[in-house]
A and B are shown apart, each in its own frame.
Chain A
């Protein structure tokens, strides 16, 4: 078995007195695609936000690509530079054009020359099919286009891992497909992905494994086919019966 690229051991997290994550143990190997699902408030978003330390965990260890996440800011910034993240609300920078959104971090964090960064950005924008919108501002784009731009922006850092935090939940139904298509392409290209989503179709198509979370616990983790065909836990069965 290959060395896991993400390794979480006995991780606990509290918001005040409320424990959101309880004893999480999770390891993800390179090039694997994991889908995390579960009812709202089950801690799935918090879990993936912990992986690039947008949230701090209070107990346990998280090791990403051989580096442990702790108070060391330099380590955290290095990890964040190689872990891309896509948010539910897109979070594009509204004061910058689409192209500038994509080149900002490569230029200032990875110190790429401007020209090279722009070429890279155009390539990524082409991948998600919005290269013709490069000069526009985020406010002028549709939700689906904005989310695809957010994916391109994350990819411009050439990350080793991509985290998706409910990327389609804020979109109109007809725009979900274009974003999912971009994600499927990315998965087929071999990216390591952890996706929090309710899109079970997407999970069936690309996921290697599915994780079901409830009340801060990982209730069930199983290979995709087994997860849908033969869930073991009662809570999982109930959840699947409600959304499928």
Chain B
């Protein structure tokens, strides 16, 4: 019988290594699992220090024994290749698994087991975990702000119509396909504006007028993000082209504009839009606070979008410009049909980045007194009846923002895949 070299696991004694390795590995996991979930120390008979480090030692030896080269077992090879290539990687793998196991019981009990959701007063929250009652009671405010309860159907209907209209592209026939860009870039925003102006704002057709100061919560987040995204993109595109223009006036105006807006913090821009800007306007001229905010954020983000798109324009080889010119295309035809389609495709990740930042910047509109979801949260947590639940509120807002942003980022990956053609 051959001697088994435990320092160098190999395929010859596959079974021996496989079983001892996995047993040691699972013992270490089991020990950590018991101590964190059931608060039971399997190795309490050992000195403290030894009992503390034992799972790690067992795990490391286990993973070492499992590191069998070319074992021929698909999943074992995969495991070895990805998380168990060396002792150091095995150590990192173990530590991460331990941290996840350790973190699970407290977070689970805070989120679910020790949490309360029943009742509608602060007193209903008796557990040591989260008080979801707070979220439940304030949910309408988080969604609609100070918009009157009995009128909230107007927001709901507007959003349902807008979401429905957004999917028109999927059902459009071949003949209408070429109008889709026009629809999404021009017609859709106009419909959105009309809906918001007449239905959400009201004031005509027998609908009660609701001033924009009362709008708020998640619906305001959507309204602000939507219009800012739509406006900042074309403005940014023109600025990017302007910055590369041969005409000095246009070039330096674009450079000046971009550098100005990139140089100031968004919060000061918002403050100025609501406090300083009206001072320069004629007495009888009135522009709604929300409109001013949307314009301010759009211009601010347009400067960033411009620089992202400029990166794409510069990445295109000169030959593309030459070829378009040699076919007799003028500046606009060349850019619309040849340059921009390629440049924009290249900068989808950068644009997505900017757009995500924009959505997450919307809470800053609290400085002008508009309360979107995070703003409403700030209001709710200072309500004397509901003191002490800031944590639940921010976790809730974080989850909502994460869902929105993750959806956007997923969508950008889809766009990337869709427009990928071989070069």
Distance in angstroms between the alpha carbons of A160 and B323 in the assembled complex: 17
Q: Mark A93-116, 1 if CB is under 8 A from B, else 0.
A: 111000000001100110000000
Q: B423 → chain A, closest Cβ, in Å?
A: 5
Known: A109-B333, A150-B323. 18 other contacts (CB 8 A): A49-B322, A73-B330, A78-B328, A80-B325, A80-B327, A87-B326, A91-B322, A92-B323, A93-B323, A93-B338, A104-B338, A105-B327, A105-B328, A105-B329, A108-B329, A109-B328, A137-B421, A154-B326
Query: Are B421 and A84 in contact (CB-based, < 8 A)?
Result: no
Question: Size range of the interface on B?
Answer: 20 to 34
A157-B328 contact in complex given A95-B421, A137-B421, C-beta closer than 8 Å: yes
- B interface residues with partner A (beta carbon < 8 Å): 317, 319-320, 322-330, 333, 337-338, 341-342, 345, 419, 421-423
Given A87-B319, A93-B338, A95-B421, CB of A54 within 8 Å of CB of B328: no
> Are the C-beta atoms of B322 and A154 separated by less than 8 Å?
no
Closest to A88 in B: B319
What residues make up the interface of A, taking CB atoms closer than 8 Å to B? 49, 52, 54, 73, 77-78, 80-85, 87, 89, 91-95, 104-105, 108-109, 137-140, 150, 153-154, 157
**Cross-chain contact B421 with A94 (CB below 8 angstroms):** yes
Give every chain B residue within 8 A of A139 (Cβ-Cβ): 421-423
Given the complex, which residues of B lie within 8 Å of A138, measured CB to CB?
A: 423
Which among B326, B327, B337, B422 is the interface contact of A140 at CB below 8 angstroms?
B422
Per a CB cutoff under 8 Å, which of B319, B320, B333, B345 touches A108? B333
Q: Are A81 and B338 in touch, CB under 8 angstroms?
A: no
In the complex the two chains form, what is the Cα distance from A188 to B397 in whole Å?
Answer: 73
**With A and B bound together, what is the CA distance between A49 and B329 in angstroms?**
16
Whether the pair B319, A157 counts as a contact (CB closer than 8 A) is no
CA distance A137 to B327 in the complex (A): 19
Chain A CB within 10 A, most for which of B319, B326, B342, B421: B326
Q: What are 29 A-B interface contacts by the 8 Å CB criterion?
A: A49-B322, A52-B325, A54-B322, A54-B326, A80-B328, A82-B328, A83-B326, A85-B322, A85-B326, A87-B319, A87-B323, A89-B319, A91-B320, A91-B322, A91-B323, A93-B323, A94-B423, A95-B341, A95-B342, A95-B345, A95-B419, A108-B329, A108-B333, A109-B329, A109-B333, A137-B422, A139-B423, A140-B422, A150-B323
Q: Which residues of A contact B317 (CB under 8 A)?
A: 89, 91
- Name the distance in Å between A51's Cβ and chain B's nearest Cβ: 10
CA distance A73 to B317 in the complex (A): 23
Give the residues in chain A near B328, CB-CB below 8 Å.
77-78, 80-82, 105, 109, 157
In the complex, A83 Cα to B345 Cα: how many Å? 30
Distance of B248 from chain A, by nearest CB (Å): 15
Most chain A beta carbons < 10 A, residue from B325, B327, B345, B421: B327
Instruction: Report the minimal beta-carbon distance from A194 to chain B, rounded to whole angstroms.
Output: 13
Which residues of chain A are near B337, meaning CB under 8 Å? 104, 108
B178 to chain A, nearest CB (A): 10
Q: Collect the chain A residues with CB atoms within 8 Å of residue B319's CB.
A: 87, 89, 91
Q: Which of A73, A80, A139 has the most CB of B within 10 A?
A: A80
Q: Tell me which residues across on chain B come within 8 A of A78, comparing CB atoms.
A: 328
Residues of A within 8 A of B341 (CB): 95
